[in-house]
Amino acid sequence: MSAPNKSYDPVEVEALKPENIERMRDEALAAFAAADSLEALQEAKTAHAGGTSPLSLANREIGALPPQAKAEAGKRVGQARGAVNKALAARQAELEAERDARVLVEESVDVTLPHDRVPAGARHPLTTMMERVADVFVSMGYEIAEGPEVEAEWFNFDALNFGPDHPARQMQDTFFVEGPKGPGGTDGGSGVVLRTHTSPVQARALLDREPPVYVVCPGRVYRTDELDATHTPVFHQIELLAVDEGLTMADLKGTLDHMVQSLFGADMKTRLRPNFFPFTEPSAEMDMLCYVCRGESVGNPDRPCRTCSSEGWIELGGCGMVNPRVLTACGVDPEKYSGFAFGFGIERMLMFRHNVEDMRDMVEGDVRFTRPFGMEI
């Protein structure tokens, strides 16, 4: 920097020479014009308009000039800096506009594109239905009990009072995993089957617990049926067992009524028709009032009902008082205790409750079937 108070010729100050100021200005303008991005412009700004840029340094020289030289140099530098700042602002605006236009294109959202999030799944309606039924009983104090799907023949049949020649034991009806090895074999004469119903859990529950026993057993069962609109070799049942002192058929009926009322509405009811199961005595077939026509289609040709074929009732499953032989086989004293049990298929219930016409829809795993049942948890 030049020393103050010296007799001073501005031309002597290299940095303030007009051609130098012009060059600094032109270099700045060229650098701004050449900057092709906001980052490059920022660099050019630091170099040509920042505190240590040649023009700023030149500007500082002015302070040391004698008064008569200050005005002229000040004007020259001021004009140059003005032009530089103007060019900088213009280029800045230009580059920002370019960037905004580019961002609009690059970051625009095409709402028609397929989304890339994993869609939330819907639970299978069989699962939700099974849980809904089980919940009716859990809220009454019943406990959920489970048993294996690959089951000892003894639990599936013998403990339930099926005679050795009962037709259900035939290969035509039951999937055998292993045949019986004979009375002397390690399995005590019992083969291994895929359980054909959830009733073996009755026997397991009684062997595991001391009465009173109140259990509900949802689960998968197997029968040698071909898959078609109304049959599937793998399906689901829900079983109920209550064993306590003094239980009667009235308790069974009251429990069934409570279940259908909880699931289908307060005016629902059930009816029992005589039937036979080896493990219940007496045994009954249980029907529920048709939840669509509430029985009003019966004898009323003007109001036919597809759900119950205008019969007014829908068959649900089997039930009865636990056969004393089953209690004995499971170590429960039939003189002291009595019990009731029932079991029914979940697929069937789903079919008539939701007008599902083909059981195959339930096993094929197509989400277009499950999704309309919603996101219930």
The residues of the shown chain that bind ligand PHE, judged by CB under 6 A, are: 197, 199, 239, 277, 280, 317-320, 341-343
Q: How far is the CB of 335 from ligand PHE (least distance, A)?
A: 21
- Residue closer to ligand PHE by CB (options 219, 343) is 343
Shortest reach from residue 241's CB to ligand PHE, in Å: 8
Q: Find tokens 């020289």 and name the residue.
A: 61
- What is the closest distance, in whole angstroms, from the C-beta atom of residue 361 to ligand PHE in the complex? 23
Nearer to ligand PHE, 197 or 236 (CB): 197
CB of 293 to ligand PHE, least distance (A): 26
* Closest distance to ligand PHE from the beta carbon of 127 (Å): 20
Is the Cβ of residue 125 or residue 320 nearer to ligand PHE in the bound state?
320
Residue 197 or 348: the one with the smaller Cβ distance to ligand PHE is 197
HEC profile for the chain?
CCCCCCCCCHHHCHHHCHHHHHHHHHHHHHHHHHCCCHHHHHHHHHHHHCCCCHHHHHHHHHCCCCHHHHHHHHHHHHHHHHHHHHHHHHHHHHHHHHHHHHHHHHCCCCCCCCCCCCCCCCCCHHHHHHHHHHHHHHCCCCEECCCCCEEEHHHHCHHHCCCCCCHHHCCCCCCEEECCCCCCCCCCCCCEEECCCCCHHHHHHHHHCCCCEEEEEEEEEECCCCCCCCCCCEEEEEEEEEEECCCCHHHHHHHHHHHHHHHHCCCCCEEEEEEEECCEEEEEEEEEECCCCCCCCCCCCCCCCCCCCCCCEEEEEEEEEECHHHHHHCCCCCCCCEEEEEEEEHHHHHHHHHCCCCCHHHHCCCHHHHHHHCCCC
Kindly tell me which of 84 and 153 has the beta carbon lying closer to ligand PHE.
Answer: 153
Residues 6+ apart with CB under 8 A from 81: 49, 55, 59
Least distance to ligand PHE from the beta carbon of 206, Å? 13
CA–CA distance, 339 with 334 (Å, rounded to integer): 9
Whichever of 158 and 239 has its CB closer to ligand PHE, that residue is 239
Give 341 or 349: the residue with its C-beta nearer to ligand PHE.
341
The nearest distance, CB 164 to ligand PHE, in angstroms, is 19
Instruction: State the nearest-atom distance from the C-beta of 223 to ligand PHE, in Å.
Output: 9
Which of 277/369 has CB closer to ligand PHE?
Answer: 277
Q: Which is nearer to ligand PHE, 10 or 339 (CB)?
A: 339
CA distance linking residue 157 with residue 70, whole number of Å: 116
Place of tokens 């029932």: 342
Least Cβ distance, residue 193 to ligand PHE (angstroms)? 13
- Cβ(49)–Cβ(84) below 8 Å: yes
Q: How far is the CB of 234 from ligand PHE (least distance, A)?
A: 14
Tokens matching residue 141: 């104090």
Q: Which is nearer to ligand PHE, 191 or 317 (CB)?
A: 317
Residue with tokens 């104090």: 141
